[in-house]
Structures are given as structure tokens and as C-alpha cells.
Structure 1
């Protein structure tokens, strides 16, 4: 490589980085003022990127070694006021001379930073569930078991100092079904969204997780534990406002629902909030007496007695359902004790909750209690090894489905899960 080429590349870097015209004195006797690279060489010398030779010459027409080029690249990397295009050029040069830089003991920090811009998290998860229904109509019992294995990847990539993009990719297989059987295997891009963070203001765009405000309690969300496509804006610190708008789709809905929501939450030792959720879809007409719209109001509150003990309650109501008023509400009361930390071996937690999951719970967390049921749910989790967490839940109650004799069908569910985080 010719030194003249190096000068051209270096000049581009310096011109892009400097905010003023070159004014540094030229220390090299063999670079005259009328030389095309005079300004660049002078500034490079002033910045300490090039040193020349002991006799005061630059020798720009001389072939240089990769070792000498690596020295200049390493010094250029130390400059902190480059434009994005110049920084990209330095990074490409650093990649080319990585071996020489390592031999020189130069840490290629920019390359490492770029590599760190994409981070991967994920887990391998095995879940076993067993649902049981006891009916008085025919004195029969029905049991449904399910074995599910899930592999999840969650990449996050930095765009700039404020924005990054996130995704979740799930690959699932039903271990109690034969390969190729309908519903046995599924690979899905679950979420993909861009997120901008500006202090206490945050914006999200794309397909993302939808958790209603009361989901901070151990049993999970009372109204929504689902996903939606659209936009979310939130702002505030202890008192935080969240606004959402978009569409909710579901395998059971042929016509996705338009969705808007607003939440106000206060987080502290005393936690509380209110939420309003509006959905419209032609699929709702059979359940709303001819209306396409559903409106749900929710309130929640919680209190931390100390770092280990937490009591919470949530209530929601859907006034648009063409059903008896007892089916329009949903509520839960929960007591949480401690909690398993995946990184802390031996940590554990437990909870007990009474849950009433009916018409205001359009997509509640149903690891324990099922849709249109009421009863007691208990659960526990334990970190067996670092990043290996065991959890179990048990629910027992009665069916609330208005199509059966109310309260006459007994239901129960056993839930077990092991998660390997990475």
C-alpha cells in the first residue's frame, strides 16, 4: 500500500472530523505548501496520527508496511469527534488490520461496540398442563393434557443513542402430537418493533406485547396478555401515562379488531391505576347484541408491605356484552411472597389468588385459571441452578360459561414449567 493512498484516506477522515479549517503547522520538509495533501498531513501530524521520520521528512511516496498502517489506524481510532461516515471508514480499516492492531495491543473498541449493538437473549421452555372438567349433567369427567416445548430468541439491535429494534421468534412443538399432525409444530415471528427512548418519554412502533396494567401481580394480567400491531406512547416517571392504538388479531378471529387504550399508573410502595380499552370488530356482534364495539374499564391497586410481601387487587367491567351482568365483570385478589430470580440460585417465590375470569377478560393470563372460570389459584417458582427456573401452578374452581348450568361444572388445572435462560 502506498503512503499516498494512506494520505488520501487520512485526509478524508480529518476533513470530516474537523469543524474548522486546517491551521496546523507542517513539520515535514518534504511536503510543500502547494502539495495536494499538505492540509491533511499537517493536521494528522498535529493530532498525533502520523509522526514521520527522525530526519523531519514524511516520505509520502514510500511503500509502507501493514505494521505502520496499523499504527496510524490505531491512532485514528482514538479520535472522538468524527462524523458517522468517517467513523465507518475507520472501523473498516480497523477490521482489515485487526491482527496487526492486536499485536500492537490496540483494543478495537469500535468494532466491539458495533458487535455489542446486537444482543441476543432467549430461552428453552418445557410446559406441561392438565385440565380437568367434572360435569353433573352426565356425571362425567374429562381430562386434557398438553406437552409443549418452546425455543425462543429475542434479538435487540441498537440503531442510535435513542432508538433500537427488538424482535421475538418462537419455535414451538407439541410433544403429545405426532410430527406433521395439525398444530404439532409452529414457527412464528411473535413480535417485531422499534423503540425510541427519550428520558421519561418512550415510543414503540410495530407488533409488540400487550399486557394490561394489572399484570404486575403474580397471577398475571386480568384483561390482556396478548399482542397487538400499532403504536404505543408512554411518558412520566412515578406517575405514568400509556396510550396505545392499532389492531388485535387472533387465530379465532377472522376479522381483526381495531384497538385503542389509555392507562394511568402510579408506581411506588402503593401501586394503582386505571385503564380504558376499546375494541371494534364484526366478530363481536353475536356477543354484544348487534354492536361492533366493546368498551372495558379497569382499576387496580397494590401495596408492598416490605420487599417480600405484596397484596394486590384488580377489577374490570365490560358493559357491551349482551349477557347477564355477572358475566360482564372480571376481578382477582392476590398475595405474592418473594419471587425467583433466574440469576440467583435458590431464590424462590409463591402466591395465592382468587380469580374471576369472565367477559371483561378478553385475553387474560390463563396459565392457571381458564377463561370463564372462578376459583383459587396458587403458584410457586424456584431457581434450581443459575438461569434454570422451575414453576408450578394449580387452579381449582367452577365453570362460568353461560352456555352451561352456572357453577355446576367443576374445573381444575395443573401447570408445570422449566425454563433455561440464555
Structure 2
């Protein structure tokens, strides 16, 4: 957001003052033709993350812009030159030479504007959804579970402050989410409820993350309470909801990224059913063993324009029970862009730790596959896509209460451990920051009972700001 705001303000200032101040012999507002070599060079800088285009993540390389607009983008890239490799620095040098006159006039103003911006920046998201969870099968007495229909919302606010040239501070505020009194608590707030029915607190809004990121040698280090991201598709842990107290080290070498996580995930937490019943206190129960957890992981990933892949080893241990092995995961993922409108992705997870409860029956492996057709990223109004998804999850492969893909997680008393799921998602962009989606998922419970299988429908709207 800091980059977007600086560019937008710089362009506003230039376009409102340059007509009187810079009416030079060479028209400062003459357009740079779209076939000019500078477009290709700036696009490389955008893709490398040195600049973010016009503030909506799009450089708009199909439309001519003025030399001052182009120079403002170059100026922003120059401010992030330390992130550039040798090839990108060469591109920057050529651009600086081409737009040297504009940069001389613009540089003072861009620098002044950036210095005058507040150091603490915020962005966030607000989501609203309606869901319908229906159980088509009856038990032996002919009784079906009641259909669960509800409306919900979720608010998340992210804050960031620059500490020095290498260090930033970050935080997040949420209206609801997992907490010590109910670690499988829903991240959504039910319409009409002051809190969720399975939460023991009426005051759920809180700061759930606080950390700082700094450069240590060739690595980025993040220290504090931060997101727990273990695998590409969040099959192991819902990284949007769950945080841990520890350190993450990430090192990028060409197209490879190496990541290491270590820290304390949970300390004395409880898990509850939807009716508020504690399911984690009785000795020997499944969730009793997950009340205290440490986490460690090591992974490597690769990504280019068409192909991405990764492998991660992660483990959960109960530090209060002689470092009992709860999960010992290996997760392998891959994705491929077949053409601009079609991509495929898959992930395989296996757990080598023994079941921590005699009540768990089922396999140690989990599979996920996805086919996405349409616009691969919704960046403009009118863009859309449709996705077909499949899950095959063994009872001893994941922890249902931590499992990432909603709606298979945190369902209180009817959480399934061993299931198969087939679903379809449709996504549409009303604007780059306002999107809608419709989802259907059929979940087949493979262990508990046929009555626990269900059909899930969801319509949702998402706003980013």
C-alpha cells in the first residue's frame, strides 16, 4: 500500500503542477509510444516487485502514458534498487538515462511526498457470506440432521510501519478467530450474534499478530506472532486464521525460495463443539493431545511464469508430554499454467506420526487437485474464473480443527476426519478490489456415518481497501 500511495500522490502532484512549471521546449506530457523499449523494461521491474504500476497492480502496458508518468515509475523503482539483481539494475540504468531530465524535476517532489507520508500504513479486507449446509442422509431411525443456514461477516485490518531501511513492524486486528478458550473457533461472525456460539468471550476483536521483519545477511527474518504458513494450499494449517510465536527465515536464490519456521503454536488451548462443550479436557481424547504444540518446518519452493513446485517437512510436537509427535508431515505441491486461461495444481500430504488417539481410523495421506479456467488473477472489472476442486483426506493425515480449506474445518461436533470432497468455485471481479464468489462442495464422510456427509453452498462478497 505504501508503494501505491506514493505513486498515486506523485502522479497527482505532477499532473496538477507541471503544466505551468515545466512548460519546456520538449513537451513533458508527450506520450511514450506503447512500442517504446521502456515499456518492456518497466514491466520487468513491475514483475520483480520493484514497482506496482498504477496502484492496482497493473502497469497498463497497452496504453500510452506521458514521460512524467513513466519517470515517476522509474523513480519508484530507483527507491527499491537494493532489491534488484544485476539484470534489473542494467534496465534501471538505461531508464535513468532515457528519462534523466524528467527525473531531475520529479525526484525532488517524489522524495518530499514520501517523507511527508505517515510512517504507519493500514489496509484490510471485509467479507460477507451466506452459507447453507444440508445433510441429505438420515440415520437408522429416518432422522436427518438439521440444515444449517446462516449469514456471517469477517473484518481484518493489517498495519505496517517502517523502522529503518531494513526493518518493518507489522500487526493485524481481527473481529474474530481462534483463541485460547476455543482454538477451533470460527473466523467469521454470525449475523445477530455478539459473539460466536462456540466462543466463551463476547469481546473477540483483538490484535492477533505483531511481528517485525528484518534483513539478516541474505535472509529475511520475521520474528514475533505471525502467520503459520506451512504448505501451498493450507491443507496442514489455515494460515489465514492461525498464528504462532516464533521466527521465520526465508532466503531467495534465483527462482528458489528456502523457508524455515520454528516456534510455539499453542499453549493450554481448548477445543469446543458448537454448543460450547469442551472436547479437549478428557485424558486420552483426540484434542487433549493438541492443547500444547510446538511447530518446526523446512521447505523449498520454485516458481517461474508457468511452473511452480515445492516440498515441505513440518512437525507438531506436544511439549508438555515429552515432545510427543503429533504430526510429522511431508507435503509436495506443483502447479502449471497450460495457457493464459487454464492452470492445474495439486498437492500430496503424508503423515508418518502414529495416531495420537485410538479413536482415529483412516489413512495417513491427503490429496488435493484443482483445475482453474478463466482469468488466473482477478485484477480488472469483469474478469472471472471457475475452478473444479477435489479432496481425498485420510483421518490421520491432517488435524480437522486446523485444516485450512473452509468449510471443512472448525465445525464443532460434526467435524469429519476421513472424507472425500468434490466442489466448484465461481469468482467474479466487480473491480480490482471488490469481488464475489459462489461455491458448492459435496463432502462424503468416510468414517463417522453416512449421516455426517453434507452439501455446502456459499455466496460471498469480498472488499479490499
**Range of TM-score over shorter length:** 0.5 to 0.7
Instruction: Specify whether residues 256 and 111 from structure 1 end up closer, same or farther in structure 2 by C-alpha distance, changes over 3 A only.
Output: farther
SS of equivalent to 1:193: strand
Deviation per CA, 1:251-279: give whole Å up to 9, x if none: 52673301100111111222222111111
Partner Cα separation in structure 2 for residue 271 and residue 107 of structure 1? 40
Contact 1:146 1:176 in 2 (8 A): yes
Gaps of 5+ in 2: 1-107, 177-187, 272-286, 410-415
Contact 1:174 1:185 in 2 (8 A): no
Which of 117, 123, 126 aligns to 2:125? It is 123
1:213 aligned residue? 231
Contact 1:341 1:383 in 2 (8 A): no
Deviates more, 1:227-236 or 1:385-394: 385-394
Deviates more, 1:323-332 or 1:257-266: 323-332
SS of equivalent to 1:213: coil
Which of 244, 264, 278 aligns to 2:300? It is 264
1:51 aligned residue? none
Contact 1:245 1:260 in 2 (8 A): yes
Contact 1:282 1:292 in 2 (8 A): no
SS of equivalent to 1:186: coil
1:364 Cα offset (Å): 2.5
2:140 aligned residue? 137
2:462 aligned residue? 419
Q: Are residue 239 (structure 1) and residue 247 (structure 2) matched?
A: no
Q: Are residue 153 (structure 1) and residue 157 (structure 2) matched?
A: yes
Which of 167, 188, 205 aligns to 1:187? It is 205
Contact 1:280 1:294 in 2 (8 A): yes
Q: Are residue 382 (structure 1) and residue 428 (structure 2) matched?
A: yes
Deviation per CA, 1:119-149: give whole Å up to 9, x if none: 2111222122222233443431332233222
Which of 221, 225, 232 aligns to 1:203? It is 221
Contact 1:206 1:231 in 2 (8 A): yes
Deviation per CA, 1:386-406: give whole Å up to 9, x if none: 421112221103113x4x24x
Which of 375, 388, 393 aligns to 1:352? It is 388
Which of 211, 223, 235 aligns to 1:222? It is 235
Partner Cα separation in structure 1 for residue 205 and residue 227 of structure 2? 17
Contact 2:340 2:376 in 1 (8 A): no
1:151 Cα offset (Å): 2.3
Contact 1:136 1:409 in 2 (8 A): no
Question: Looking at CA atoms only, which structure, 1 or 2, has the larger radius of gyration?
Answer: 1
Deviation per CA, 1:157-214: give whole Å up to 9, x if none: 1111111011110124734444477546620212211112469621111111122332
Instruction: Specify whether residues 302 and 329 from structure 1 end up closer, same or farther in structure 2 by C-alpha distance, changes over 3 A only.
Output: same
Partner Cα separation in structure 1 for residue 215 and residue 439 of structure 2? 36
2:453 aligned residue? 410
1:319 aligned residue? 352
Deviation per CA, 1:353-410: give whole Å up to 9, x if none: 111234322323232445533120211211123421112221103113x4x24x6642
SS of equivalent to 1:304: strand
Contact 1:369 1:413 in 2 (8 A): no
Equivalent residue pairs, number: 305
Partner Cα separation in structure 1 for residue 327 and residue 379 of structure 2? 42
SS of equivalent to 2:117: helix
Partner Cα separation in structure 2 for residue 411 and residue 348 of structure 1? 27
Gaps of 5+ in 1: 1-105, 216-220
Partner Cα separation in structure 2 for residue 346 and residue 282 of structure 1? 50
Contact 2:440 2:457 in 1 (8 A): yes
Deviation per CA, 1:287-328: give whole Å up to 9, x if none: xxx944421111111211123221111111112233677432
Partner Cα separation in structure 2 for residue 388 and residue 244 of structure 1? 33
1:240 Cα offset (Å): 1.4
SS of equivalent to 1:235: strand
SS of equivalent to 2:115: helix
2:317 aligned residue? 280
Partner Cα separation in structure 2 for residue 278 and residue 331 of structure 1? 18
Deviates more, 1:315-324 or 1:273-282: 315-324
Contact 1:302 1:310 in 2 (8 A): yes
Q: CA RMSD in A?
A: 3.0
SS of equivalent to 2:380: coil
SS of equivalent to 2:397: coil
Partner Cα separation in structure 1 for residue 162 and residue 339 of structure 2? 37
2:444 aligned residue? 398
Instruction: Specify whether residues 276 and 114 from structure 1 end up closer, same or farther in structure 2 by C-alpha distance, changes over 3 A only.
Output: farther
SS of equivalent to 1:224: coil
Could you tell me the TM-score, scaled by structure 2's length?
0.59
